[in-house]
Structure formats: C-alpha cells, structure tokens
A and B are shown apart, each in its own frame.
Chain A
Amino acid sequence: MRRNLGPVYTMPMALWITAFFVVPIAIIAVCSFLAKGTYGGVIGRFSLDAYASLANSGLAVVALKTLVQSAAATIFTLVLAIPASYYIARSRYKNALLFLVIIPFWTNFLIRIYAWIAILGTNGFLNGFLVSTGVLSTPVQFLYNQYAVITVLVYTYLPFAILPLYATIEKFDFTLIEAAQDLGATKTQAMMRVLLPNIRPGIITAILFTFIPAFGQYAVPQLVGGRDSFMLGNIIARELTVSRNLPLSSSISVVLTLVTMAGVLLFVKLQAKASKKIRPVQEAE
C-alpha cells in the first residue's frame, strides 16, 4: 500500500487554523479566568470575577433579549420562507425566481442595513412620505428599537432560509400530496401532515442558518438597535473597547461560543434524526 499523504496535505491548513483560530480562542478562554488589570488588560492571577459578574442582572437581561430577538427573527423568517420556497419549487420558472431571491444579496451587507436606515430613520423615506401625505404631523423614530433589529435580521437571513427549504421542497415528491388528498385529507391537512414532516431537514437547516448567526449578531443591533435592543455581541465589544474589561469581555465570549456550539450540536442531532440519511459506507467485498 502507499504512504499516507493525509498529514502532508492537511498540515498547512491545520497549522494556520491552530495559530489564528485555536490559539486566539484559547487566549480568550484563559483571559476569562484572570483578574482585571487597572488600566485594561489582565493580571496573571486566577479569578472567577468575570464569571461572577456575568450573573449580574444587566447581562442576564441582555442574554434573554438576544435569545428573544433571534428567536423572533427566526420565526418570522420561516413563516415567510416556507410558503415562498414552496411557491418557487412548484413554479415553472424556478431558476428565474431563485435568481430573484439571490440578486438583492449581491450588494454589500452594510448597504442592505443602510437601506433600512434610509427608509425608517427620522429623516427617512417613510417619515418623509407620511408627513408629506399628512398621516403624521411630525416624524416618528422607527429605528433604534428591537422591532427594527428583528426586521433587519429577517431581511438579512431570509435568503439563507429560502435556499435550503427550496432544495428540500424541490426534491419532495408532490404525488404524496395528491395521495394524501386521495385518501381524504384536505389540502391543509395534506400540507401539515405530509409536506411538513417530509421537509423537516430543510426546516432544521433553515433554522440553523437563521438562528445561529442572528444569535451572535453584532452589526445589526449596532446600526439599527438602541440601548434596549443590544445583543451579547455588542456587549462583548463594548466591554473590550469601551470599558476595557478584558476578562468580562472574554467570559461573555466563552459563554456565547459554548451556547452557539451547543445550539449547532442540537440542530445537527435533530437533523440526523430527521433525515436519517447515512452516507453509504463502502462495502468491503
């Protein structure tokens, strides 16, 4: 047999990832267990202060807000994405419609957020329109609250939900719907009892692609959120760059990382259960 070239080929990437991903994460993990230095930074003394102040009520509220906002965004995304991808999958012009879904996302992520600022801001398009038509007498601030954050999150992640949903619905055998109706199900029953269970892998992927990145958001709340809608990501940055509390920033990072990993693991487990699609093992003949 031949030499095992696996390590040779893999080495460069493994070293890179170790140096610039694993080591930095390890540094954060270590920092989270150290005491805070007087002028920022850390001093080399073991301390659980950072984790103790995590229990501080302010942070717990932020964590809860983060969870609620990303969950709400995920639900609204699914409510739109499931029927929309169903429509695309059943359309004669699937490719063209899919293309329409993707095009808006060719433009920069910040520009897409900015579009909402331009529309919802006090000097924005919507206020201008409402004031000039006399609906409002003075402009209203639609931005810098959690509704704005959720709206922009939905806007950002909707295509990431539509694409996997479309992929599973497209593979769905639609004669099953007819079969269900033939057996006496109404169209709605057929959808709920036959379509939804069969596209569960797509739904789980859509949740994974929406919830996980929304949960770790930084930019969206930073730009369209207010004090009441800041998420964990914003607190990490604030503690690091403004309060210069490295241990606290690190400990929130550690928690956010662990929660995210646990979430992904859960979804992957659910996914495996839902699809039971095992990669065929090469038969040893």
Chain B
Amino acid sequence: MTNPIKRVPILSRKGFLVKGSQVTLRNVSKHFGEFCAVRDVSLEIAKGEFFSLLGPSGCGKTTILRIVAGFEDPTQGDVLLDGASVLSLPSNKRHVNTVFQSYALFPHLSVFENVAFPLRLKKTAASEISDRVGHYLRLVKLDSHMSKMPAQLSGGQKQRVAIARALINEPSVLLLDEPLSALDAKLRQHMLIELDAIHDEVGITFIYVTHDQQEAISVSDRVAVMNEGSVLQVGAPGQVYETPANHFIATFIGETNLLEGKVLSVKNGIAMISSDAGALRAAARQGVSEGDTVHCAVRPEKVRISKMKPASGEHENCVEGTVDEMIYTGFLTKFFVKTTSGTVFKAFRQEAGAAAAEEAIQCGDSVYLLWHPADAFIVEVKKA
C-alpha cells in the first residue's frame, strides 16, 4: 500500500470495513492458438466487493481469474489494481491470492506449514508466524487440526486450509476458482455461508468463479454472467434473476418457461403477445414495439396452477392444459403441463401443508396456469 493518499475507510453494504483493491479489466481477450477463451471483457470490480463470474464450464471465467492472478497473460487488454496496471508483475509479486479449485495444498507440509508457507518464504519470525497462522486457522475454524497432513483432511477441511493459506499474505484481492465444486451439496451450502462470513471479516475484494447459479446469486454483491468468452450481463443477483438480458441467461439461471410470440401492441409498459399458447401479456422492456418477434419468459414458481377456471382472466395470463407429469420434491411439487397447443409448461407449487388446504391435483387433470403480466418478461427481441 504505497498509495500516498490516505485511504478513507469505506463501509460495505453490510457495514463492514472495506480494505480490498479495485480491480479493472480493460478489453481483455485471451486466445489459446485458434481458440478464443476470453473475448473483449471489460469489468469494474469495486473495493471489497464479493463479485462472481458465473457461466457454464468452458466459458472463460477461470481464464479471467488466471489472468488476474498472473498465471496467464492476456492476448490483448489490461488488468489494473487500484488503477495501476499489474500485467508486468509475475504472480508472486501481485497482491492477489488464489484459492484453487483442486485446493493445491502442498502434500508434504502439515496444515500449519501450508498456511505458514508464504511467511516462511519471507523469513518471518517464528513467533509472528505462529500468531498469524493461528489467527487465520481460527478464522476458518481449523485451529484444532494444525498438525494434520492434507491427506488426513476431509474435502471441506482442505478447502478451509486453502482459504487460510490464501489469506495469510493479507492480499487485497482473493480469487476463488470454483472453490466448492468438490464438496457435497450440504457442505457446499454450509461453506458458502462461511465464505460470506469470512468476506465480511477480512473485507477484501473477492472474485468468485462458479458454474453454479445458486452459489453465485446467494452470496455475491454482483454477478457477471459469461458464455463463450464474453460477459453477457453484470448486475446484482436479483437483477440478473428477475430481468435476464437474454435467452441464455434466462435459462441458465433458474428454471424458466420460454414462449415465442409476436408483439401485437405495447400499452403502459405491457406488451400484448400472440403465441402458440394463446394471447399473453408481459412486461415490455425498452425497445419492444409492435410486430417484433420476442421470447417471453416466466419463472415456474410464479405460475399458479389451479383446477378452477379463474373468475376474471383480465388481470392475469391464463393458459389451459393437462398435467402431463408431476415430480414431488418435498418442499415443492413440479408440474409439467401440456397446453392445448402442445407446449410443455412448468409450474412449481410450494407445499404449504395441511393448513393451506390446497386442492389435490393429479396427473391427467385439466388445469389452468395463471401468472401476473409483471412476472413475465421479454428476454429476446427480433425486430420486425
């Protein structure tokens, strides 16, 4: 921190002290021979932000992380930390540390020595080493396993060691490469909460790479959705989920019913669309006008399913169909409804229990699917 300007402490969203660096990617591209892994990506990641790069495997998110870490050079573009380019710095000189997907723990060193590794390199005094290693192992709740070897640890514990080791140099940015992918579902949930807590505690910038939309939207301040090397949308998790920028994001994040149709009219921000499933109304986004072909999306959990024909169909969209299949998952039931036009529609109903006295629906029943126009959104527009 050679910055001459005295840094004013900033508080994060949740009111914690922010210490990290601002990370800027300027028009970064990376080619591996013919293959273009990253295509002209520009990102601005704020100090102390928990920022996620989300996308399917092979989308270039890990390459971006490796470029920031210094393991790869971008073919084009620049990477800046707090406004200064770091491209000329090798990875061991960047104030950035990485939690590797495979954990990359040194198999010949104990937990303590793994975490102490960076300090030993710097010939830090023994007393200081044990203080600092102790502090970070407490942070990840592993202080009772200090003398174990990596091979004796469970996946979750290895993960914690990797995090403690990456934090001990007090980097200004922590890069996490699919850190939870090797853990089972339950542990993943738990580690996610702890990661969030660790982020609050250390207050530095986290760049988190994942292909799991659940992970990304549950802990991040902002998410960048990527596909085929490009960033498609950057925004808060709610924003990305509720108003996906395109077809890909709508289907990649969460489950979606997609309907293609033609815009008949646009009135008061609501577009009237004619589709195979009948006339629909959906929130029109900017630039949608009469005659356009659009993809209209509605999340299954926002679709109500009922055997009774609604009294007035005026304020809601209504589609008729028969239940083709239903999957009971415990806390909710997924209905797959075949509409009269042949499209299969998904509707999720949460099982509220006996008190809610829900009507019983069975396979083969004729049902009505209802949803509010504001819950339907237009994701892709082909101009007329």
Report A's interface with B, CB cutoff 8 A.
1-2, 283-285
Contacts and interface: CB of A to CB of B under 8 A. Distances in A.
A1 B62 contact: no
Contact of B58 (A1, A2, A285): A285
Contact of B71 (A1, A284, A285): A1
A285 B73 contact: no
Interface of B: 32, 35, 37, 57-63, 70-73, 90-91
A83 B127 CA distance: 63
A285 B57 CA distance: 6
Contact of B59 (A1, A2, A285): A285
A1 B37 contact: no
A285 B60 CA distance: 4
Given A1-B70, A2-B90, A284-B35, 15 more contacts: A1-B73, A1-B90, A2-B91, A283-B57, A283-B58, A284-B32, A284-B37, A284-B63, A285-B57, A285-B58, A285-B59, A285-B60, A285-B61, A285-B62, A285-B63
A284 B64 CA distance: 11
22 contacts: A1-B70, A1-B71, A1-B72, A1-B73, A1-B90, A2-B90, A2-B91, A283-B57, A283-B58, A284-B32, A284-B35, A284-B37, A284-B58, A284-B63, A285-B37, A285-B57, A285-B58, A285-B59, A285-B60, A285-B61, A285-B62, A285-B63
A201 B371 CA distance: 60
Contacts of A1: 70-73, 90
A1 B73 CA distance: 6
Contacts of B58: 283-285
B19 to A, nearest CB: 28
Nearest to A1: B73
A283 B209 CA distance: 15
A134 B108 CA distance: 67
The 4 closest A-B pairs by CB, nearest first: A285-B62, A284-B37, A1-B73, A284-B32
B34 to A, nearest CB: 11
B178 to A, nearest CB: 9
Contacts of B35: 284
A279 to B, nearest CB: 16
A5 to B, nearest CB: 13
A2 B72 CA distance: 9
Contacts of B61: 285
A284 B66 CA distance: 11
Nearest to A3: B90
A283 B101 CA distance: 13
Contacts of A285: 37, 57-63
A146 to B, nearest CB: 52
A2 B35 CA distance: 22
Contacts of B32: 284
A1 B58 CA distance: 22
Nearest to B92: A2
A284 B58 CA distance: 6
A240 to B, nearest CB: 49
A2 B62 CA distance: 19
A244 B37 CA distance: 63
Contacts of B90: 1-2
A116 to B, nearest CB: 46
A1 to B, nearest CB: 5
B305 to A, nearest CB: 39
Contacts of B73: 1
A2 B57 CA distance: 26
A280 to B, nearest CB: 13
A284 B62 CA distance: 8
A283 B70 CA distance: 18
Contacts of A2: 90-91
B32 to A, nearest CB: 5
A232 to B, nearest CB: 45
Contacts of A283: 57-58
Contacts of B63: 284-285
